[in-house]
Amino acid sequence: MDTTNIHIVEEPEKQLAMHPRKFSMWLFIVTVVMIFAALTSAYIVRQAEGNWREYELPLSLWINSGIIILSSATMHWAYLSAKKDNLEMVKVAISSTTFLGVLFLIGQMWAWNVLVSNEVYFTGGNPSESFLYVLTGLHGAHLVSAIIYLFIVLFATFRYQVHSKNLAKIEMCATYWHFLDILWLYLFIFLLLNH
Amino acid sequence: MATVDIHLNEETAHHGDGHHEHEHHETNFWTHYIFTIDHKMIGKQFLITGIFWALIGGTLSILFRLQLGFPDMDMSWLKPILGKWIEIDTATGFGTLDPEFYLALVTMHGTIMVFFVLTAGLSGTFSNYLIPLQIGARDMASGFMNMLSYWFFFLSSAVMFVSLFIETGPASGGWVIYPPLSALPKAVNGSGLGMTLWLVSMVFFIVSSLLGSINYISTVINLRTKGMSFSKLPLTIWAFFLTAVIGVLSFPVLFAAALLLVFDRSFGTSFYLSEIYIDGEALPNQGGSPILFQHLFWFLGHPEVYIVLLPALGITSEIIATNSRKPIFGYRAMIGSMLGITILSFVVWAHHMFVTGMNPFLGSVFMLLTLIIAVPSAVKVFNYLTTLWRGNLVFTPAMLFSIGLVSFFISGGLTGLFLGNSAIDIQLHDTYFVVAHFHLVMGSASFFGLMAGVYHWFPKMFGRMMDAKLGYIHFWLTFVGVYMVFFPMHYIGIAGYPRRYYSFTNFDTFNSFADLNMFVSIAAICTMTAQFIFLYNFFYSMYRGKKAPLNPWKSNTLEWTTPREPGHGNWPGEIPTVYRWPYDYSKPGADVDFIPQHIPYSETPESNLPYENELIKLEAEDKEVKVADGSKH
Ligand code: HEM
Ligand SMILES: [Cu+2]
């Protein structure tokens, strides 16, 4: 904690060097982890019971994974630029991250299209098919929220509220973004191993 | 879940890094009572809403107890309230309760009591109210998230309340909402719109509970006052903290379970459904597994029972130590056992599923783990008893309710040991024995914890005292009443009475228990009536009670160092600094029998232990640093 900011002398008691909001963000991430832990273990439990339809994963998921890894890189670029007070670069980097995020979502939709043309449906079929839609859909919903977050940070950058002395916002955004990236890679590897 | 994300985001966006939001806070009626971000007011909002729900939940239970105790009664007099749920025989004018509505009654009773009263009403009230006051913080880590937490709860309450009045009736598949029953409107009316509303309401509830828990954890970890190390935290805070940890880890799993159920119900997936025939007609769903739902549900469900119980245990620790005028026995053992319970509560869920046909080997693993949980539970019980032992007991109403809790925890916990044996559970599962078990150990114990908390902290909440005499009457009627209601259920259960049956008159074997059932119902009505004494006392004392002294129970924790009616920010001046643990009661050598946490050792030379004298030197250094800091600004 940066103590020079504290005005009230009687309250230097923040014993743990953790920003409360960043901390809450981590706790929120824990809740998301638990949701996906529940869903993927449900997947395994259900699969173990047999009567499980197997199908090919669309190849475009590989491309999507590449896109989201790239977006993590641009996110980190944005963070580093903010640290160096290079605000123009921050704007470019956040915009590219947003763009890659949207591209990823479009890619996921495309993958769904491919699935449908392979006769793998969300409803009416075997749970193995529905699970794929639930996992990707729920991850996508979180990514939408992260994109909204990116917009908020972008606005803040335009209003000069993101800079080397005020990194909390962009740090939290980056944490969330990297988390969703890792979450996707986990889901993808999980699906590759267990589909 | 997307909504949560967005709100979290807005939150961070709006407040940025500002440290002292509360200071810009001007109050009018709306910001003071309704959209408040003051943790004390939010705690009271949770309390009042919880009381409202407790009344509804209690009334529902009286309705189905009437049916169980007096199966031949003419219910036509209930027609004005229950409307079409009472069927009137046109020839005789005789009224009977609709059997499906009976199922709806038990379902809603369970849901309301477990989630709305004992989770939101208990954790919501006391975690909000006490965490900042007892750790020495001006408010929660995020007042805004805290406000959202209440309003999500309110929304959830509103949806659940509406579901009570709809045409097809509220959800009726039991509070555990097992599919396929809960997934198929064709199977029972309550699984139609009622179940949909139940699920919507629970999603809001989960959001509320997560927002609350995240805030509690974040506050306890980051906002403790100077000197308030984890080894000086009151046990209440430890309990609230661990409860929140359990909540953060288990509620998302309920969300996942509910999500899949929503897809099954409304979108045509088959996660939980397979090969079902209704009226001889096959449903298209193939390949699902209802057992999967049970796993997901109980992965929340069992931790949930500890979410309900732990805060009550924390409150009890505090009240029993204060009113025994003795340090709590085994402070560290108490923390250790709570940690043990927290961890173990995640690995025992399948003891609710012994008879689902699961692998007997798996059953014995879960049996072992379940029985291990009895160890930390027993440690807690022994510590309560040894704290009471030869204490200078002060029997305030709060103290009586706390002792009542210990009693229920013992008698209900013992039956858990029977149920935890997978072989014995074959006989006892889904009988009234289980009902007796969890109503004593969870329902009544936590309810008594809630009551103890209200009696104890009422003076701080409203600046006035509750009437002690009415409190005693309330306690004895409720305490005796609870045992009269739930003890006989053990016998009924061992005899084989299944739970959730509308009526037993068709079974000859059960005739001999008709009287006992009637007795239980009468006791239930009396116990419920006794709660009105509390209600009167509560609302009357709020306005007319005797003005409370600053520290009515001569307690050590920080909340009693605030003014009689603390404003937003809790302490008008600086926040007190903490020097000692919260249980310095009757310390040998001291001239008063309690030394609050903010009294430095240097002021109590007569009672200090040798190592505490060492600490005085450190205190002195601290002061110097503080003075030096102060002059800089
Ligand atoms: C000594 C520790 C305990 C053991 C060994 C134990 C064991 C069990 C078992 C095996 C069942 C399942 C019975 C069945 O459905 O056939 C059960 C049910 C239940 N227990 Fe416990 N229990 C213990 C303590 C507690 C505590 C402390 C609480 C709550 C705070 C609690 C709340 C419940 C509830 C709510 C149910 C019934 C849920 C339902 O089916 O609706 N138990 N217990
Ligand atoms: Cu359990």
Query: Which tens digits make up the pLDDT trace of B120-140?
Result: 999 999 999 999 999 999 999
Any CB–CB contact under 8 A between A166 and chain B? yes
B270/A130 touch (CB, cutoff 8 Å), yes or no: yes
| Segment among B27-36, B163-172, B553-562 with least mean pLDDT | B27-36
Cα A182 → chain centroid: 7
| Segment among B25-34, B187-196, B455-464 with least mean pLDDT | B25-34
Rounded to whole angstroms, how far apart are CA atoms B419 and B432?
A: 12
- Nearest Cα of chain A lies from the Cα of B514 at a distance, in angstroms, of 44
The ligand 1 atom nearest the CA atom of B431: 16
Residue B444 is given by DSSP the state: I
Which one of the ligands is nearest to B371 CA?
1
Q: Within the 257-276 window of chain B, which residues sit less than 8 Å (CB to CB) from chain A? A: 257, 259-260, 263, 267-271
Any CB–CB contact under 8 A between A44 and chain B? no
A172/B12 touch (CB, cutoff 8 Å), yes or no: yes
pLDDT grade for A55, boundaries at 50, 70 and 90: confident
CB within 6 Å of ligand 1 — which residues? B 176, 305-306, 308-309, 351-352, 370, 373-374, 377, 413, 416-417, 419-420, 425, 428-429, 434, 437-438, 441-442
What proportion of chain B, given as a percentage, has pLDDT over 70?
93
Q: What is the pLDDT of residue B26?
A: 58
Which residues are placed with Cβ below 5 angstroms of ligand 2, an ion?
B 302
Q: What is the pLDDT of residue B233?
A: 95
| Segment among A182-191, B22-31, B334-343 with least mean pLDDT | B22-31
Q: How far is the CA of A134 from the centre of ligand 1 (A)?
A: 32
Neighbours of B209 (CB within 10 A): 28
Q: How far is the CA of B110 from the centre of ligand 1 (A)?
A: 14
Any CB–CB contact under 8 A between B358 and chain A? no
Whether pLDDT at A6 is above 70: no
Which residues from chain B sit within 8 angstroms of residue A5, using beta carbons?
19
- Nearest Cα of chain A lies from the Cα of B305 at a distance, in angstroms, of 19
Whether pLDDT at B376 is above 90: yes
Dump pLDDT digits (tens) for B457-503.
999 999 999 999 999 999 999 999 999 999 999 999 999 899 999 98
Q: What is the pLDDT of residue B624?
A: 58
B222/A31 touch (CB, cutoff 8 Å), yes or no: no
pLDDT grade for B186, boundaries at 50, 70 and 90: confident
Q: What is the DSSP string of B374-402?
A: HHHHHHHHHHHHHHHTT------HHHHHH
Q: Judge contact between A52 and A193, C-beta under 8 A.
A: no
Q: How far is the CA of B348 from the centre of ligand 2 (A)?
A: 7
pLDDT grade for A7, boundaries at 50, 70 and 90: very low
* Nearest protein CA to atom 3 of ligand 1, as residue: B416
Q: Within the 59-88 window of chain A, which residues sit less than 8 Å (CB to CB) from chain B? A: none
Dump pLDDT digits (tens) for A110-149.
999 999 998 888 887 889 999 999 999 999 999 999 999 9
Instruction: From B342, B355, B370, B434, give the residue whose CB has the most ligand 1 atoms within 8 Å, as the site to mutate.
Output: B434
Question: How many contiguous H segments (helices) and E segments (strands) does chain B have?
Answer: 19, 4
Q: What is the pLDDT of residue B630?
A: 44
Dump pLDDT digits (tens) for A9-43.
333 344 555 788 889 999 999 999 999 999 999 99
Any CB–CB contact under 8 A between B292 and chain A? yes
Q: What is the pLDDT of residue B504?
A: 86
Neighbours of B608 (CB within 10 A): 19
A34/B248 touch (CB, cutoff 8 Å), yes or no: yes
Q: Within the 188-227 window of chain B, which residues sit less than 8 Å (CB to CB) from chain A? A: 210, 213-215, 217-219, 221-227
Tell me the pLDDT of chain A averaged across its residues: 88
Any CB–CB contact under 8 A between A117 and chain B? no
Q: How far is the CA of B284 from the centre of ligand 1 (A)?
A: 36
Q: What mean pLDDT comes out for the span B269-280?
A: 88
Q: What is the pLDDT of residue B284?
A: 84
Multiple choice CATH, B35-544, 3.40.50.300, 1.20.120.1200, 3.10.20.90, 1.20.210.10 = 1.20.210.10
The ligand 1 atom nearest the CA atom of B306: 30
Best residue of A26, A145, A183 to probe chain B, by most B CBs closer than 10 Å: A145
Neighbours of B206 (CB within 10 A): 24
* Nearest protein CA to atom 33 of ligand 1, as residue: B438
The fold of the A3-194 domain, in CATH, is Four Helix Bundle (Hemerythrin (Met), subunit A) (1.20.120)
Q: What is the DSSP string of A1-43?
A: --GGG---TT-----S---HHHHHHHHHHHHHHHHHHHHHHHH
Q: How far is the CA of B482 from the centre of ligand 1 (A)?
A: 18
Q: What is the pLDDT of residue B625?
A: 56
Best residue of A11, A139, A159, A170 to probe chain B, by most B CBs closer than 10 Å: A11
Q: Judge contact between B299 and A170, C-beta under 8 A.
A: no
Rounded to whole angstroms, how far apart are CA atoms A145 and B614?
A: 54
A145/B255 touch (CB, cutoff 8 Å), yes or no: no
Nearest CA in chain B to A45: B292
Nearest CA in chain A to B229: A15
Q: How far is the CA of A32 from the centre of ligand 1 (A)?
A: 28
What share of residues in chain B are helix, strand, coil (percent, to 5)?
70, 5, 30
Q: How far is the CA of B486 from the centre of ligand 1 (A)?
A: 15
| Between A14 and B289, residue with greater pLDDT | B289
Any CB–CB contact under 8 A between A105 and chain B? no
pLDDT grade for B20, boundaries at 50, 70 and 90: very low
Phi, psi of B202 (to 5 degrees): -70, -30
Dump pLDDT digits (tens) for B427-447.
999 999 999 999 999 999 999
Q: What mean pLDDT comes out for the span B150-161?
A: 97
A7/B217 touch (CB, cutoff 8 Å), yes or no: no
Q: What is the DSSP string of A45-87?
A: HHHHTS-----PPPTHHHHHHHHHHHHHHHHHHHHHHHHTT-H
Confidence (pTM):
0.91
Rounded to whole angstroms, how far apart are CA atoms A73 and A51?
A: 41
Q: Judge contact between B201 and B249, C-beta under 8 A.
A: no
- Nearest Cα of chain B lies from the Cα of A159 at a distance, in angstroms, of 12
Nearest CA in chain B to A13: B226
Cβ pairs A/B, distance under 8 A: 180
A6/B574 touch (CB, cutoff 8 Å), yes or no: no
Amino acid occupying residue B234: P
Q: Domain extents for chain B? A: 35-544, 571-632
Rounded to whole angstroms, how far apart are CA atoms B271 and A114?
A: 22
Q: What is the pLDDT of residue B483?
A: 97
Task: Give the nearest partner residue to B222 out of A14, A31, A172, using CB atoms.
Answer: A14
Q: Domain extents for chain A? A: 3-194
Which one of the ligands is nearest to B431 CA?
1
Q: What is the pLDDT of residue B509?
A: 77
Whether pLDDT at B17 is above 90: no
Rounded to whole angstroms, how far apart are CA atoms A120 and A132?
A: 9
Tell me the pLDDT of chain B averaged across its residues: 90
Length of chain A: 195
Q: What is the pLDDT of residue B27?
A: 65
Nearest CA in chain A to B140: A20
* Nearest protein CA to atom 23 of ligand 1, as residue: B416
Reference B254, options B217, B299, B215, B188; nearest CA is B299
